[in-house]
Chains A and B, each alone.
Chain A
Amino acid sequence: MRGETAEITLGPVLFNWQPERWRDFYFGIADEGAISAVYLGEVVCSKRSPLFLPHFEEVSERLAAAGKTVIFSTLSEVMLNLDRQAVKSVCASPDALVEANDAAAVFHLQGRPHHVGPFMNVYNAETAAVLARRGARNFCLPAELPAGAIRALCAGTQALGVTVEIQVFGRVSLALSARCYHARAHGRTRDSCLFVCENDPDGLELRTLDGRPFLAVNGIQTLSLECLNLIHELPELRAMGVSRFRLSPHTCDMAAVAAVVRGVLDQRMTAEEGAARLEAMKLPFPFSNGFYHGKPGNRWTDAAPH
């Protein structure tokens, strides 16, 4: 399978979008041919999960009917009883394909085929082998892994019959915390947050004291200010054996992003042309690719082969 297929996947929406916006976004994705698999579910804050519940079944059915593989993502941080119940219930339906983002989900999914998400620390083939033995079939790797480690991990997992997935677009998750920083910015606590995170559908920007844009806050999560853009690196990633390319959703035109990535993967478009098209979208944040090149993650490096 490796090297032959190249699928575009859509990661879970990380932000607290209005439920109707959330539903309509996925209805749009259902009609989008370039995307073959969609990760669905709340991964940041268990308090948000009930907000999307009224539309959840409708959305997942619509995506499945459109031929998408629907994978249910679990919470990235599992600590409160509410978190634990949420993870347990996602893992409870035996037919659902689930992506584990914490060891608690891995615990529940033992013996069943499942995916392992980018919040799990899979840095090497030895770790992938442990998880594959328990049923993991696909690994979306941590965003901070540099090219050399991705290449070695792909080579080291070839015999396991698993697939490797890499995020190629969207703000990058940098940290999680027990504390809600959205609530903190508004003088509230996590328990009294009043869902203030809904005001920032791409995250709340933090600037340094000298006014330089720096980070983005999303509830308990801290994200890069920049939008990861690995359009130049797609051919190299394919050659390494990466077969799934993840877009992390933002409020920009994700169908247009998917079309560009598809075009470059299919060699209907050069990486330079793809890059120019993404640039022309005038996104509200700059691009970065530093982690991949072993540089600070906030940086943009003109691509050079490894």
Chain B
Amino acid sequence: MPADAMREDNGYVRPELVCPAGTPAALRTAVEAGADTVYCGLQNETNARNFPGLNFTVSELGGAVRFAHARKSNVLLAVNTFPPAGKFGLWREAIDAAVDVGVDAVIVADMGVAEYAARTYPQLRLHLSVQAGASSPEAIRFYCQEFGVKRVVLPRMLTVAEISDIHRQIPCEIEAFVFGNIGMMAEGRCSLTNYVTGVSTNMDGVCSPAAEVHYEEDSDRNLTIKLGAFVIDRFVCDERAGYPTICKGRYLCDAKPAGYYAFEEPVSLNLSMLLPDLMRAGVTALKIEGRQRSRAYVRAVVAAFRHAVDDIMAGRDPALTSLIELTEGHRQTEGAFRSKTWR
């Protein structure tokens, strides 16, 4: 249903809270903590969090759907990477499995995968992954026309005002990120990991693979962090280090000979203070990132956002200060969402 039809008297649209689940246990935790919807992936390169020890077998996915549906929550399956020619069958099987176990929607990025899903299963609800990088009304309308996409997950590069503007120009729902890891590069268009490690974010579903991350400590307890063969940051012993990715590393250039965060500092996205604005901007769903995070993390973040959304809808002030403890390196940003000076 269009978000505006659900607008309440106070001007807010009650948003669907979309929460991450890296494991069946995390899925149960998220549902119990108040998730309206949980998203997950299969144990292979068909999704963008293809990490060892994470994700679902088809049979676990079936169990997760039954568990969630019994508690009136929805399950989405992310099939949101780009199959290289010759391997397309694996992505086709993922779509088939999603239909078999009765997920509520699949999140796709590749046009070929979207086409297969739309033609083979006309009743299957399709969401457009942030990995598709649809950042304008025209791009979004293309995916709606071509594949009947019902919802777009917007890139993390837009201000709230721009989101509101896009909302008025597209025929589908909007899902926006509110919390978690924030990559600096346009999603679905970054091959930095492949450049350094030979494993591709788009094709293999891996960004900054743990197996390629190396820590070297010197006698003063300074920590050098390498991805593959390249130093991507160095910390003195009392600095907090986030999970190392190339886009949050420190480098040198002629204008910054002492080193600087060339792309972004190691911060997490936290839009909790902008929640009321997002809930007026026509956003249908709020997305929390973090399929790779622990159950304790999922429980804390989902519960905090559940209360915050309910408080705002009821006209109460939300309490969200506890969320900073859960951000990466305990540092947070509102990224692009508040102001375009971030760019």
Contact = CB atoms under 8 A, between A and B. Distances in A.
Do the two chains bind? yes
Interface of A: 76-79, 83-84, 87-88, 102-104, 106-108, 119, 121, 123-131, 134, 142-146, 148-153, 156, 172, 174-181, 184-186, 189-191, 204-212, 214-215, 217, 222, 224, 290-291, 294-298
A215 B253 CA distance: 10
A106 B251 contact: no
Contacts of B69: none
Contacts of A146: 84
A126 to B, nearest CB: 3
Interface stretch (B7-15, B130-138, B274-282, B286-294): B130-138
B312 interface: no
B262 A208 contact: no
A214 B251 contact: yes
A209 B252 contact: yes
B197 A129 contact: no
Contact of A121 (B189, B250, B251, B342): B189
B253 A78 contact: no
A176 B186 CA distance: 5
Interface string B311-326: 0000000000000000
A124 B139 contact: no
A178 B186 contact: yes
B172 to A, nearest CB: 14
Contacts of B262: 181, 184-185, 206, 217
B268 interface: no
A123 B203 contact: yes
A253 to B, nearest CB: 25
B121 interface: no
Nearest to A205: B253
Contacts of B256: 185
Contact of A178 (B113, B143, B343): B343
A123 to B, nearest CB: 4
The 8 closest A-B pairs by CB, nearest first: A126-B112, A178-B157, A152-B85, A103-B139, A152-B86, A149-B84, A153-B85, A297-B195
Contacts of B342: 178-179, 189
Contact of A214 (B224, B230, B263): B230
Contact of B196 (A130, A294, A296): A296
